[in-house]
Structure 1
Amino acid sequence: MNRINAIDVTRGLVMVIMALDHVRDLLHISALTQDPTNLANTTPAIFLTRWITHLCAPTFVFLSGTSAYLSLKRRNDESARRFLRKRGVVLLLLELTIINFAFWFDIHFHSLMLQVIYAIGGGLIMLSFMARLPIRWIGIIGLIIVFGHNILQLVPPFTNTAARLGWSLFFQTNFFPVENRFALLVGYPLIPWLGIMLVGFAAGQFIDRPISLRKPWLLRIGLGSLALFLVLRFLNVYGDPAPWSVQKDSLFTFLSFIRVTKYPPSLQYDLVMLGFMFLILWAADGANNFFTRWLSVYGQVPMFYYVLHWYLVHLSMIGMSLLQGYSLADIPSGPMNFGRPDGAGISLGLVYVVWIGLVLVLYPLCRWYGPYKAAHPEIKWLRYV
Structure 2
Amino acid sequence: MNTDHSPPSNRILSIDILRGIVMIIMALDHTRDFFHISAMTGNPLDPATTTGALFFTRWITHFCAPIFVFLSGLSAYLSAQNKTPAASGKFLIKRGLWLVVVEIVFVSLGLTFNPFYNFIILQVIWAIGWSMILLGLISRLSYKTVLIIGLLLVFGHDILNLLPVPQNPTWAIILKVLFTAFGTVLPISNNHLVGVFYAILPWTGIMFIGYAIGSWYKKGYDVAKRKRNLILAGCLTTLLFLVLRWINLYGDPAPRKEYLNVFRNMLSFLNVSKYPPSLLYTCMTLGPAMLFLAFSERLKNIGSRIFAIYGSVPFFYYVLHFYLLHTFLVIAFFATGFTGKDIIQIPFYFRPVNLGFNLIVVYMIWFSVVALLYLPCKWFKKYKQTHRQWWLRYV
Provide the C-alpha distance between the structure 1 equivalents of 2:80 and 2:106, rounded to a whole number of angstroms: 28
Match of 1:327 in 2: 339
Would you say 1:196 and 2:182 are equivalent positions? no
- Give the Cα separation in 2 of the matches to 1:65 and 1:163: 29
Once the two structures are TM-superposed, the CA of residue 176 in structure 1 deviates from its matched residue by 2.1
- Partner letter of residue 350 of structure 1? V
CA–CA distance in 1 between the matches of 2:260 and 2:376? 47
Whole-Å separation in 1 of the counterparts to 2:17 and 2:169 = 43
Q: 2:186, 2:232 → 1: CA distance?
A: 45
Cα distance in structure 2, aligned partners of 1:29 and 1:126: 40
Equivalent residue number for residue 86 of structure 1: 94
Matches within 5 A, 1:11-160: 11-160=19-168
User: What is the distance in 2 between the residues matched to 1:166 and 1:72?
Assistant: 31
Q: Say whether 1:176 aligns with 2:185.
A: yes
| Residue in structure 1 matching 2:272, options 244, 260, 280 | 260
Structure 2 unmatched runs, 5+: 1-8
Identity of aligned residues (%): 42
Q: CA deviation at 1:63?
A: 0.7
Instruction: Kindly report the root-mean-square deviation, in angstroms, between the aligned alpha carbons of the 2 structures.
Output: 1.6
Q: Counterpart amino acid of 1:309?
A: H
* Distance in 2 (alpha carbons) for counterparts of 1:338 and 1:216: 49
Please report how far the alpha carbon of residue 177 of structure 1 lies from its aligned counterpart in structure 2 after TM superposition: 5.1
Deviation at 1:106, TM superposition (A): 0.8
Superposed CA offset, 1:355-375 (max 9, x none): 011100000000000110221
Asked whether the equivalents of residues 86 and 140 of structure 2 are also in contact (C-alpha less than 8 Å), the reply is: no
> Are 1:369 and 2:380 counterparts?
yes
Indicate how the Cα distance of structure 1 residues 338 and 160 shifts in structure 2: closer, same or farther if over 3 A, else same: farther
Alignment equivalent of 1:251, drawn from 251, 254, 263: 263
1:194-343 equivalences in 2 (<5 Å): 194-208=204-218, 209-334=221-346, 336-343=347-354
CA separation in 1, counterparts of 2:164 and 2:360? 42
SS of equivalent to 2:305: helix
Q: What TM-score, normalized to structure 1?
A: 0.96
Deviations 1:202-243 (Å, cap 9, x if unpaired)?
100113334322222222211111111111111111111111
Measure how far apart 1:245 and its partner are: 2.4
Q: CA separation of 1:331/1:248 partners in 2, compared to 1, >3 Å: closer, same or farther?
A: farther
**Residue 171 of structure 1 aligns to a residue in which SS?**
helix
Moved over 4 A (4+): none
| Cα shift at 1:180 | 6.8
Q: CA deviation at 1:160?
A: 4.1
| Contact 2:109–2:117 under 8 Å retained in 1 | yes
For residues 180 and 38 of structure 1, the distance between their equivalents in structure 2, rounded to whole angstroms, comes to 34
| Mapped partners of 1:83, 1:327: distance in 2 | 47
Q: What secondary structure sits across from 2:107 in the alignment?
A: helix
1:99-150 superposed Cα distances (whole Å, 9 cap, x missing partner): 1101111111111111100111000111011112221221121111111110
Secondary structure of 1:280's match? helix
TM-score (norm 2): 0.93
208-217 vs 315-324, which moves further: 208-217
Matched residue of 2:185: which SS? Answer: strand
Q: Which of 328, 351, 355 is the equivalent residue of 1:344?
A: 355
Cα deviation for residue 183 of structure 1 reads 2.4
Counterparts of 2:205 and 2:231 in 1: how far apart (Å)? 21
Q: How far apart are the structure 2 equivalents of 1:20 and 1:277?
A: 19
Shift of 1:72: 0.8
For residue 16 of structure 2, the aligned residue among 8, 26, 38 is 8
How many angstroms does 1:159 deviate by? 4.5
Shift of 1:77: 3.1
Structure 1, unmatched stretches of 5+, are none
Length, aligned pairs only: 383
